């Protein structure tokens, strides 16, 4: 403590001296005393300021009057030496103190006083050199901190004073240097820049800068910085072009590049590039750059700089200039409209679709090269990832500030009579269950009795108890699975269901078990069970034969292998080849018919059934049935009338048994790719430019050369429009627009074949539209190898190296883009080394999930559930524009009996309404929904409690047509369906119109859902998170805190996200937002909150990339994690029930914690076990 006392005592003496001197100076000012005294006092103050930091701090401290005294003296004194002393003091104060002291000087009126002093000093002839040096030096320092400095300087006439000083003293480098520094500050104001340009400042700068010289480097550097600032003005840039200065700059740059061998003048070289960057912001500048051979000059010099890491700023700036000057080209397409056409029943009067239909022909061929000063995004290597997307960094002008609009106001919208059309979709509210075989009053305990029910959890990876597997197998092989209705009748009904059928047969799926079920159906189901059991046992039991595994069972287990493996005889092709059914064919590729490349040298036909099982294709999810998938595909209606089935959709996908970390991008990869693109212009003779795939010309003959890859996308969900071979192993890929649209290019799904192993193939998807992507931050595309699948690894894996996403030289007119901001396209580029020769591989933006896959999963769930325990109903919400059915699923627990009390409890359960896949390209939403559906259909105690707590109404795919036809965002109407919820058109947006109608019906009958959640995917953020709706948080973001304090609001909307942040490892609460933006007012989340009155109305966004927090930090997300998120969402609903209804709900929290741990175990799997296989394992309770 004594040490602390010493410092103030010592500083007190020093401070007393400065305080005394300042007081003396103030007295001199007041009395207008002799100048000699003022000169002496200011010299003493200067000495203290130069020698003591404490004095500098004291003079600029808050509350100090030192700065005012100095400025007052400066304003009033006529003595030159006193003026110079004070200017030196000010220079010392601002030089050592950083921005805070400069700002302090500005707030005390320093700018105006110094500018006036400059005016007065300029009247002397000749002006005093030292005085001008000091004034310009300090003005150059304080100018950038004064927002009004440019205006003040212009009004005071300071611009021409400084400019004339430079003109008259070009050889006086000591005076010219601070003058140039101040000219640079003046030029930050566009009006000043134009004014200076008219007075010859651009020409003046070119008298200072020149070829390489070891002298005056600091002067040249400042002159170049000033020139770069001046050339940001279009007027000055045009003047520079007219005088041929673009050629001069390039010549000077080459000279400095050649002679600066030790790279000591990198800042001068960068200054020249910055001037070129400014002048090429205009079209004339870009043309002059091209004419002067600028592309080749900068390309060659930047390539020579690559070896020196410290020269990266030169390489990056050169790259940016070349990309900007690369001539804009239109896409090599006949039209940027979709290559598929679908005639709408009604043409909208307004909006992008109406504009598209009214466009004159060939308008999308126009390339807009208008002058713009929008700098191309600098994807420098030091680019840091910003996890806050535009959705998070809200602009105040997009936030709804009208409290009346924010307050939820339930609006029926449609009459009660009109809403009665939805009564048949809510039979659970009126059914008396007299015809059902219900469980007795006391529910059966959850003890495994050998009956196969739904999956135990989704996804789960708990260890199987080997001791139970034998008895389990015996029991199941002999058991018949309970069914509700004839299997064949269900298939036909499912395939041909129309709206009228639904109205006439409302209880189709509620019928009790049909006693006339055919033996073939039972045998088929038993075979499915045996196949799944065989996989589990073979993988997990060390011995050759499981206990109780009889020879007869072995025989049954080997039966599916003739269907699912690819033997040379290929017997299954007879069932799914070219003559599948009349009028339409569904084809699989040639690889399945020509045999497979096995992993060992043994003859596959001589292998035992155990060995053959290791290459069985659908290794995992029992929800996947290739034969059923083919049957469903036959009735799926696509605009191009697809007749092929992609292998991954036929074989199925299981999560790989290994982690896939977020990819670390190699240093310099992006600029390398950009340089290779620039080489196309410089070395045009090296470019092949051969079309190898083209949807617009289906009869196009592809050259039959061995080293050309073959492409295909003519299957459900496929999207690839055109492929051009650029170099031997490099291909440009162009995606198809959404149907009835000319943009939304992001989703891709295509097939590649004819590859050779050990060759690096580069793929460039050149017409993406989003301004940034997680491909820049560690995300990889997905690849599925048919060869790998046939070798027992049927999974999508993250694949590709040298991945980046950047703006390219392809462009479209703003008219053709529907007036959308941003006219350039972006490239996703990635390089792949294929592991097998002549494989068939598939690439996708994210894990594909087709409409037919959904229908298959729903049908399998329906056929496998226990009707005594689970109330499951699959209805048709409506038909889509192309005639596909939009499924509506109802799931809850069956009542304990048909007694009145049990029926009342059943009917009074609150509703939870879920939807997904309104945007077709967000396939992760379907995988999350799959996890939710499988969990809800499982036989866990907590799943049963969840069913007993809620009635789930689920629309698992809101946009079937968009999904089927490979759209990224729109339906066949060409519109984003998640922007149509305010006023959906029944003819153009039937799924939205009727989904909203269901919610309006529930509101009309006073059964408002407790929770609504719409599952989505997010392309530019990591983790899983939610968007909700809050008046208070929306108002708070407008910075109107007073208004925010007046809002009273129930914060229950935060409960579910908080629960999920605790139980779901992929969920991130900090990424959640509850702000209502104007641009989102027509989304499901906001409309259902505002119009329907559902407080807990959410959008749940799942990343396409991976996680940067929690258990999955640093890992890319997979289907296992996505399905887990869907299951965790269900557990979250159960906890929400416990928190909101503690008196009605008595489930012990320990059971919820157990359930959470059970789901967690799915991520610890180390063996190849599909999530749904676990339905055959005994419960762990």
Tokens matching residue 416: 């009660």
Q: Please state, in angstroms and rounded to a whole number, the distance separating the CA atoms of residues 1117 and 779.
A: 9
Q: Please state, in angstroms and rounded to a whole number, the distance separating the CA atoms of residues 708 and 1035.
A: 59
Q: Sheet containing 824-833: give its strands across.
A: 690-694, 722-727, 730-734, 760-768, 824-833, 801-811
**3-state DSSP call for residue 510?**
helix
Q: Please state, in angstroms and rounded to a whole number, the distance separating the CA atoms of residues 265 and 221.
A: 9
Alpha helices in 1023-1175 (DSSP H): 1031-1036, 1041-1046, 1055-1063, 1084-1087, 1119-1140, 1149-1160
Beta carbons of 811 and 374 less than 8 angstroms apart: no
364 pairs with which residues across the strands? none
Listed residue (419, 324, 339, 448) closest to 377, CA to CA: 324
Distance of CA 529 to the CA centre of its chain: 40
What are the φ/ψ torsions at residue 472 (nearest 5 degrees)? -60, -45
What are the φ/ψ torsions at residue 710 (nearest 5 degrees)? -110, 140
Alpha helices in 108-157 (DSSP H): 110-122, 129-142, 149-156
Neighbours of 866 (CB within 10 A): 18
Residues with catalytic function: 1101
**3-state DSSP call for residue 535?**
helix
Going by the DSSP 8-state scheme, the letter that residue 75 receives in this structure is H
Q: Please state, in angstroms and rounded to a whole number, the distance separating the CA atoms of residues 522 and 527.
A: 9
79 pairs with which residues across the strands? none
Tokens matching residue 200: 């010859």
Beta carbons of 182 and 136 less than 8 angstroms apart: yes
Tokens matching residue 487: 């299997």
**Look-up of token digits 């697809």:** 642
Neighbours of 524 (CB within 10 A): 14
Radius of gyration of the chain (CA): 37
What are the φ/ψ torsions at residue 1140 (nearest 5 degrees)? -90, -25
Q: Please state, in angstroms and rounded to a whole number, the distance separating the CA atoms of residues 866 and 864.
A: 7
Listed residue (1102, 1144, 1143) closest to 1015, CA to CA: 1102
Cα–Cα distances in angstroms (integers) from residue 950 to residues 299, 899, 1133, in the given order: 65, 19, 9
Beta carbons of 473 and 537 less than 8 angstroms apart: yes
Listed residue (98, 149, 668) closest to 380, CA to CA: 668
**Look-up of token digits 């059970």:** 1158
Going by the DSSP 8-state scheme, the letter that residue 883 receives in this structure is S
Tokens matching residue 894: 């069956």
Beta carbons of 230 and 193 less than 8 angstroms apart: yes
Using CA atoms of 781, 782, 785, 791 in order, give the dihedral in degrees to the nearest 10. 130
Cα–Cα distances in angstroms (integers) from residue 75 to residues 61, 72, 112, 120, 858, in the given order: 22, 5, 10, 11, 85
**Which residues have C-beta within 8 Å of that of residue 633, sequence separation ≥ 6?**
586, 645, 716, 852
Beta carbons of 104 and 141 less than 8 angstroms apart: no
Tokens matching residue 96: 């050592």
Distance of CA 671 to the CA centre of its chain: 22
**Which residues have C-beta within 8 Å of that of residue 363, sequence separation ≥ 6?**
813, 815, 816
């Amino acid at each position: 403590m004594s040490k602390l006392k010493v410092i103030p005592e010592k500083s007190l003496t020093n401070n007393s001296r400065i305080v005394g001197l300042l007081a003396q100076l103030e007295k001199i000012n007041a009395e207008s005393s002799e100048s000699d005294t003022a000169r002496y006092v200011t010299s003493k103050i200067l000495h203290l300021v130069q020698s003591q930091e404490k004095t500098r701090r004291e003079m600029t401290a808050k509350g100090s009057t030192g700065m005012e005294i100095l400025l007052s003296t400066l304003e009033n004194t006529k003595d030159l030496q006193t003026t110079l002393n004070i200017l030196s003091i000010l220079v010392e104060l601002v030089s050592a103190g950083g921005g805070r002291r400069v700002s302090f000087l500005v707030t005390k009126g320093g700018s105006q006083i110094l500018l006036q002093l400059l005016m007065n000093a300029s009247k002397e002839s000749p002006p005093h050199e030292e005085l001008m040096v000091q004034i310009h030096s300090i003005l150059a320092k304080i100018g950038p901190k004064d927002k009004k400095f440019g205006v003040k300087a212009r009004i005071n006439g300071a611009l021409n004073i400084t400019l004339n000083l430079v003109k008259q003293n070009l050889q006086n480098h000591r005076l010219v240097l601070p003058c140039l520094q101040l000219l640079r500050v003046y030029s930050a104001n566009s009006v000043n820049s134009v004014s200076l340009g008219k007075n010859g400042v651009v020409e003046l700068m070119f008298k200072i800068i020149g070829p390489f010289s070891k002298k005056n480097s600091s002067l040249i550097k400042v002159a170049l910085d000033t020139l770069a600032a001046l050339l940001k003005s279009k007027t000055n840039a045009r003047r520079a072009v007219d005088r041929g200065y673009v050629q001069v700059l390039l010549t000077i740059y080459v000279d400095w590049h050649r002679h600066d061998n030790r790279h000591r003048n990198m800042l001068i070289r960068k200054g020249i590039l910055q001037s070129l960057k400014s002048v090429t912001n205009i079209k004339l500048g870009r043309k002059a750059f091209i004419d002067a051979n600028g592309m080749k000059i900068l390309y060659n010099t930047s390539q020579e700089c690559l070896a020196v890491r410290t020269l990266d700023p030169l390489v990056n700036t050169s790259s940016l200039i070349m990309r900007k000057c690369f001539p804009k080209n239109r896409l090599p397409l006949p039209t940027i409209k979709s290559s598929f056409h679908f005639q709408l029943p009604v043409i909208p009067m307004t909006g992008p679709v109406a504009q598209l239909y009214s466009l004159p022909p060939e308008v999308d061929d126009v390339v807009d090269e208008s002058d713009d000063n929008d700098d191309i995004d600098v994807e420098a290597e030091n680019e840091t990832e910003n996890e806050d997307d535009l959705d998070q960094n809200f602009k105040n002008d997009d936030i709804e500030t009208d409290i009346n609009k924010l307050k939820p106001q339930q609006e029926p919208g449609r009459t009660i009579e009109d809403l009665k059309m939805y009564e048949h979709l809510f039979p659970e509210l009126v059914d008396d269950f007299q015809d059902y075989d219900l469980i007795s009053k006391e529910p059966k305990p959850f003890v495994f009795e050998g009956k196969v029910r739904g999956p135990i959890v989704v996804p789960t990876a708990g260890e199987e108890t080997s001791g139970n597997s034998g008895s389990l197998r015996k029991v199941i092989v002999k058991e018949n699975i309970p069914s509700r209705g004839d299997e064949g009748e269900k298939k036909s009904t499912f395939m041909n269901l129309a709206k009228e059928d639904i109205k006439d047969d409302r209880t189709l799926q509620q019928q009790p078990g049909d006693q006339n079920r055919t033996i073939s159906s039972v045998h088929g189901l038993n075979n499915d069970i045996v196949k799944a059991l065989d996989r589990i046992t073979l993988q997990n039991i060390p011995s050759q034969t499981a206990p109780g595994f009889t020879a007869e069972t072995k025989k049954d287990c080997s039966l599916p292998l003739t269907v699912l493996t690819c033997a040379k005889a290929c017997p299954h092709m007879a069932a799914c080849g070219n003559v599948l059914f009349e009028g339409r064919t569904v084809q699989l590729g040639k690889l399945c018919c020509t045999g497979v490349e096995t992993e060992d040298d043994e003859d596959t036909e001589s292998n035992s059934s155990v060995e053959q099982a290791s290459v069985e294709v659908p290794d995992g999810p029992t929800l996947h049935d290739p034969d059923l998938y083919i049957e469903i595909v036959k009735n799926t209606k696509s605009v191009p009338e697809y007749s092929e089935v992609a292998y991954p959709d036929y074989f199925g996908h299981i999560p790989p048994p290994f982690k896939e970390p977020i990819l670390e991008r190699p240093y310099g990869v992006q600029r390398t790719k950009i340089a290779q693109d620039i080489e196309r212009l410089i070395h045009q003779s090296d470019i092949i430019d051969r079309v190898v795939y083209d949807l617009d010309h289906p009869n196009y003959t592809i050259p039959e050369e061995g080293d050309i890859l073959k492409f295909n996308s003519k299957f459900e969900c496929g999207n690839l429009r055109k492929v051009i071979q650029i170099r031997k192993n490099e291909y440009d890929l162009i995606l198809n627009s959404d149907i009835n649209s000319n943009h939304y290019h992001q989703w891709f799904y295509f097939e590649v074949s004819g590859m050779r192993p050990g060759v690096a193939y580069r793929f460039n998807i050149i017409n993406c539209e989003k301004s940034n992507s997680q491909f820049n931050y560690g995300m990889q595309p997905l690849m599925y190898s048919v060869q790998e699948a046939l070798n027992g690894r049927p999974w999508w894996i993250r694949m590709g190296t040298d991945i980046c996403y950047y703006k390219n030289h392809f462009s479209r007119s703003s008219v053709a883009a529907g007036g959308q901001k941003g006219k350039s396209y972006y490239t996703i580029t990635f390089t792949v080394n294929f592991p097998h020769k002549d494989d068939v591989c598939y690439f996708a933006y994210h894990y594909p999930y087709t409409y037919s896959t959904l229908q298959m999963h729903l049908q399998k769930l329906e056929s496998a559930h226990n009707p005594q325990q689970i109330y499951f109903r699959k209805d048709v919400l409506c038909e889509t524009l192309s005639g596909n059915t939009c499924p509506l699923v109802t799931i809850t627990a069956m009542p304990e009996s048909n007694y009145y009390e049990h029926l009342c409890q059943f009917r009074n359960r609150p509703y939870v309404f879920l939807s997904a896949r309104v945007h077709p390209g967000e396939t992760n939403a379907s995988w999350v929904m799959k996890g939710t559906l499988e969990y809800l259909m499982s036989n866990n105690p907590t799943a049963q409690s969840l069913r007993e707590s809620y009635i789930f109404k689920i629309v698992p795919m809101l946009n079937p047509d968009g999904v089927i036809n490979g759209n990224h965002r729109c339906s066949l109407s060409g519109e984003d369906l998640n922007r149509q919820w305010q006023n959906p058109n029944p003819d153009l947006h039937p799924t939205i119109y009727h989904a909203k109608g269901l919610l309006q019906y529930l509101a009309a009958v006073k059964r408002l859902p407790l929770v609504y959640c719409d599952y989505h995917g997010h392309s530019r953020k990591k983790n899983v998170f939610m968007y909700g709706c809050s008046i208070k948080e929306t108002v708070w973001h407008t910075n109107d805190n007073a208004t925010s304090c007046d809002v009273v609001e129930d914060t229950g909307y935060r409960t579910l996200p908080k629960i999920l942040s605790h139980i779901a490892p992929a969920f991130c609460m900090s990424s959640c937002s509850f702000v209502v933006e104007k641009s989102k007012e027509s989304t499901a989340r906001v409309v259902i909150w505002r119009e329907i009155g559902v407080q807990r109305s959410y959008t749940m966004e799942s990343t396409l990339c991976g996680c940067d927090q929690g258990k999955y930090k640093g890992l890319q997300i997979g289907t296992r994690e996505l399905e887990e998120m869907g299951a965790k969402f269900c557990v979250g609903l159960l906890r929400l029930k416990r928190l909101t209804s503690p008196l009605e709900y008595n489930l012990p929290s320990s059971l919820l914690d157990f359930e959470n741990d059970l789901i967690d175990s799915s991520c610890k799997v180390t063996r190849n076990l599909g999530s749904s296989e676990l339905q055959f394992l005994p419960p762990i309770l």
